[in-house]
Amino acid sequence: MRRALGSVAVCLLACAGAQAAVDAGPAAAPRLEFTPLQAGTYQLQAIQPVQDATLLDEHGHPVQLRALTRGKITLLTFFYSYCVDPLGCPFARETLGMLRDRILREGALAREVRFVAISCDPTTDTPNVLARYAQDVTGDSGFEWRFITARSVPALLPVLDDFGQDVSVDVDAQGRASRALHHMLKVFLIDPRGQVREIYSLAYLQPEVMLNDIGTLYLERHTSSSAR
Amino acid sequence: MRQSSQRAVVLASVLVCFGMALPSAFADETCNSPYISSLIKGQEDFVHVWTLGVEGLGDGSDKLVTIDANPASKNYGKVVDSKSVGRRGEAHHMGFTDDRKYLWAGGLDDSRIYVFDVGTDPSKPKLIRTIADLPAKTRFVGPHTFYALPGRMLIGNLSNTADKGGVTGMALYNNKGSLVTRYDMPTATIGGVKGDGYGYDVAVNPAKNVLLTSSFAGWQNYMRELGDVIKDPEAMKHFGGTMVVWNLKSMQPTQVLSVPGAPLEIRWSLAPGQNWAITATALTSKLWLIRQGEGGSWGASEVATIGNPAQVPLPVDISIAADGKGLWVNTFMDGTTHYFDLTDPEHPKETYHKKIGTQVNMISQSWDGKRVYTTSSLLAHWDKKGADNEQFLRAFNWDGHTLTPAFEVDFTKEHLGRPHHMKFTAKANQSRTLAALVR
């Protein structure tokens, strides 16, 4: 784990100069200068319910978002396969990869957690593209990490709107779309009933905290189950 | 449908090869929530001013006034838009949502919250939502600070529905405008200091997992004539004298700090390695430093005097430099802005001051610190009377030594009202939302 974190830090340092050139903001990896609270010692508020939508899975089959955000603890993010921003999708993927490894070591927890990544660019990120991408990212871990797309941009827009996920495209002087896609990195923690319970933007994307938040939802579920 | 599909195909054809995500930043220009994206590090295009309506002036209602602030524009220094909300409710502060596309603005009297779309066309903000359920759902009154968290807005309030005194709390809404939960300000003794339950500003340091809150006064005081409040010894007892350290994750108070004299705006220095925030106390005219000690707990200490406290200069707004090494402080009563060198935050040193007008309240600076904007109004009942009741936005250029006037807007002459809080936006020259491109 420490080695993995170290590799991320090295990557971020190496990429810092390039980042400064493309964005005016003082982009930086999240800092963790505190000891995270133990899982189960705090509450996560119900921020909003996830609305259902019909999307496409890695095999080109229609899939309901409801089915991907209920029944398990879900970490959901928006991405696109060709994103190269070191503090964008690749950073989220690296962070989620580390989390997945930690969760797999927890045994029982791994069966109750899934990751869902929805492409912001459904035409480029076809099911075939996503199937290859998924294989690269997830390997054969057996962990449920789904890569989802949509039939079209219009089919995707209600989902983006529901999550408040802004996506924009650079245009030229004539208003024609260029080749640059922007989105604010956010990862949504969703409980098994489909309620968003935490939202991590870059400043919040701290793996130790995320793991404890997942643990908090896990304990919440099992404590309430045993109470019944 | 076919047209939409065709546009989607066109769009898809360009979404290849290159992409970037806009990261959230650790500070805005320079005092916004650290979770807000899209910093304006260059020239801002517009200054939005949340303006209190004045009876008999224009339509008499609160309004969001937009002023062109780009020297390259033909409309530089002019009012380019004014959106009235159709009533007067003591317009006060505003805050962007995390994606910077919406501006939430509150009324301290009627507790209404207005949500303006400033992302689609910042030159013409559009009122898209009014939230009127704050008192009924939270029992809080007087939404003051609007502080973006990812996907939601944390609102620091000033008062309560029961007695309209200073005991209050915070409300958390999601970005769709639905209440998520409420938090009472502590009245218990925590860390040896008793909480007074008062509220005002909220400010987060994500790296420390710390939320700081400050304290002012309730509706009974801020909606009363200032002269009457000062002459009423009982009323003067009802000002906040504490700050609270919260665990941001659990939203539980971990320490109450004694900071007498109504600590108002809170500014974190978020430079890497820094572990402090600063505030100014309105009634005692002091700068206080809130700093984390060796053991991890937080302490508050008085570090500087602002003007002559005996004359009650009433420090109101402060604005910290992006590098945390300088601080503007406005003192309302003498209409003066002060610049403090914060290189050593334990010993701030005033290096410059300038009289801005008969009264001055808010101050905002650009990220590079080269442009400084001030407005005149504090509260409808606290502003000066007669000829001293100047109502303006005055913009300056700052070269590190002197403030040079850039432009000003006379809000009385323009029939606008009392200008209070300011926020900047920039035109989206280079990008369009996915939704706009598909339409």
The pLDDT tens digits of the residues spanning A131-145 come to 999 988 887 778 999
Contact between residue B191 and residue B205 where contact means Cβ atoms under 8 Å apart: no
Percent of chain A with pLDDT over 90: 57
Across A28-32, A94-98, A102-106, B91-95, the highest mean pLDDT is recorded for B91-95
Q: For position B104, what pLDDT does the model report?
A: 98
Predicted confidence (pLDDT) at residue B100 exceeds the cutoff of 60: yes
Distance from CA of A58 to the nearest CA of B (A): 18
Q: For position B429, what pLDDT does the model report?
A: 67
What is A44-227's CATH number, 1.10.10.10, 3.90.320.10, 3.40.30.10, 3.40.50.2300? 3.40.30.10
Question: Can you give the residue ranges of every domain in chain B?
Answer: 136-258
* Rounded distance between C-alpha atoms, residue B290 and residue B287, angstroms: 10
User: Helix or strand or coil: residue A115?
Assistant: strand
Predicted confidence (pLDDT) at residue A20 exceeds the cutoff of 50: no
Q: For position A180, what pLDDT does the model report?
A: 74
User: Helix or strand or coil: residue A207?
Assistant: helix
**Contact state of B39 with A168 under an 8 Å Cβ cutoff:** no
Helix (H) or strand (E) holding A119: strand A113-119
* Confidence band for B359, pLDDT divided at 50, 70 and 90: very high
Q: Which residue of A has its CA nearest to B7?
A: A153
Residue with tokens 């002091």: B286
| CA distance from start to end of chain A | 37
Q: Write the pLDDT tens digit of every residue in A196-213.
A: 999 998 877 888 999 999
Q: Which of B38, B206, B432 faces A30 most closely, judged by CB atoms?
A: B206
**Contact state of A85 with B12 under an 8 Å Cβ cutoff:** no
Segment A115-121 shows an average pLDDT of 95
| B179 has a chain A CB within 8 A of its CB | no
Q: Which residue of B has its CA nearest to A28?
A: B25
Predicted confidence (pLDDT) at residue A123 exceeds the cutoff of 50: yes
Predicted confidence (pLDDT) at residue A179 exceeds the cutoff of 70: no
Predicted confidence (pLDDT) at residue A6 exceeds the cutoff of 60: no
Q: Write the pLDDT tens digit of every residue in B246-271.
A: 999 999 999 999 999 999 999 999 77
* Rounded distance between C-alpha atoms, residue B25 and residue B36, angstroms: 7
Helices (H), B291-438: 434-438
Of A129, A118, A120, A143, the C-alpha closest to A65 is A118
Percent of chain A with pLDDT over 70: 84
Q: For position B1, what pLDDT does the model report?
A: 34
Q: For position B439, what pLDDT does the model report?
A: 64
| B189 has a chain A CB within 8 A of its CB | no
Q: What's the angle, vertex CA B388, arms to CA B387 and CA B390, rounded to 5?
A: 90
Predicted confidence (pLDDT) at residue A104 exceeds the cutoff of 80: yes
Distance from CA of B9 to the nearest CA of A (A): 7
Distance from CA of B134 to the nearest CA of A (A): 17
- A114 vs A226: which has the higher pLDDT: A114
List chain A residues with CB under 8 Å of B292: none
Work out the burial of residue A9: count CB atoms within 10 Å of its CB; fewer than 13 is exposed, 13-18 middle, 19 or more buried.
exposed
* Rounded distance between C-alpha atoms, residue A93 and residue A116, angstroms: 11
Helix (H) or strand (E) holding B286: strand B286-292
Predicted confidence (pLDDT) at residue A28 exceeds the cutoff of 50: yes
Predicted confidence (pLDDT) at residue B11 exceeds the cutoff of 80: no
**Contact state of A169 with B15 under an 8 Å Cβ cutoff:** yes
* Rounded distance between C-alpha atoms, residue A185 and residue B24, angstroms: 8
- B100 vs B397: which has the higher pLDDT: B397
**Contact state of B37 with A83 under an 8 Å Cβ cutoff:** no
Instruction: Strands of B39-139 (E only): list them.
Output: 46-52, 63-68, 79-84, 91-96, 102-107, 113-117, 126-131
Beta-carbon contacts of residue B34 (< 8 Å; ≥ 6 apart): A203, B24, B25, B26, B27, B28, B204, B205, B206, B268, B270
Segment B398-413 shows an average pLDDT of 98
Q: For position A228, what pLDDT does the model report?
A: 52
Average predicted confidence (pLDDT) for chain B: 91
Predicted confidence (pLDDT) at residue A30 exceeds the cutoff of 90: no
Of B395, B398, B397, B357, the C-alpha closest to B378 is B357
Is the ipTM here above 0.85? yes
List chain A residues with CB under 8 Å of B175: 164
Q: Which of B98, B180, B434 faces A169 most closely, judged by CB atoms?
A: B434
Segment A3-16 shows an average pLDDT of 30
Q: Which residues of A92-122 are buried (b: 16+ CB within 10 A; e: fewer)?
A: bbbbbbbbbebbeeeeebbebbbbbbbbbbb
- A25 vs B358: which has the higher pLDDT: B358
Q: Write the pLDDT tens digit of every residue in B367-394.
A: 899 999 999 999 999 999 999 999 999 9
* Confidence band for A107, pLDDT divided at 50, 70 and 90: confident
Cβ atoms within 10 Å, residue A177: 22
- A170 vs B275: which has the higher pLDDT: B275
Percent of chain B with pLDDT over 70: 92
Distance from CA of B437 to the nearest CA of A (A): 8
Q: Write the pLDDT tens digit of every residue in B187-226.
A: 999 999 999 999 999 999 988 999 999 999 999 999 999 9
In chain B, DSSP finds a helix count (H) and a strand count (E) of: 6, 32
Beta bridge partners of B419: B51
Contact between residue B51 and residue B420 where contact means Cβ atoms under 8 Å apart: yes
The DSSP call for residue B274 is -
Side by side, which strands form the sheet with B63-68?
Answer: B79-84, B63-68, B46-52, B418-425
Q: For position B266, what pLDDT does the model report?
A: 97
**Contact state of B20 with A153 under an 8 Å Cβ cutoff:** no
Predicted confidence (pLDDT) at residue B107 exceeds the cutoff of 80: yes
The DSSP string of A131-192 is: HHHHHHHHTT----EEEEB-SSHHHHHHHHHHHT--EEEEE-TTS-EEEEEEEE-EEEEE-T
* Confidence band for B274, pLDDT divided at 50, 70 and 90: confident
* Rounded distance between C-alpha atoms, residue B156 and residue B213, angstroms: 8
Question: Can you give the residue ranges of every domain in chain A?
Answer: 44-227
Q: For position B31, what pLDDT does the model report?
A: 74
**Contact state of A34 with B208 under an 8 Å Cβ cutoff:** yes
Segment A139-168 shows an average pLDDT of 92
User: Could you tell me how many residues make up chain B?
Assistant: 439
* Rounded distance between C-alpha atoms, residue B324 and residue B291, angstroms: 14
List chain B residues with CB under 8 Å of A88: 19-21, 23
Q: For position A139, what pLDDT does the model report?
A: 76
Q: Which residue of A has its CA nearest to B9?
A: A123
**Contact state of B150 with A204 under an 8 Å Cβ cutoff:** yes
Percent of chain B with pLDDT over 90: 84
- B227 vs A6: which has the higher pLDDT: B227
* Rounded distance between C-alpha atoms, residue A150 and residue A153, angstroms: 7
- Residue B436, both tokens: 């706009």
Predicted confidence (pLDDT) at residue B167 exceeds the cutoff of 60: yes
Segment A95-121 shows an average pLDDT of 93
Distance from CA of A215 to the nearest CA of B (A): 14
Segment A25-32 shows an average pLDDT of 60
- Residue B8, both tokens: 């989607």
* Confidence band for B350, pLDDT divided at 50, 70 and 90: very high
Q: For position B297, what pLDDT does the model report?
A: 95
Average predicted confidence (pLDDT) for chain A: 83
Q: For position B310, what pLDDT does the model report?
A: 94
Q: Write the pLDDT tens digit of every residue in B321-346.
A: 988 999 999 999 999 999 999 999 99
Of A117, A24, A111, the C-alpha closest to A72 is A111
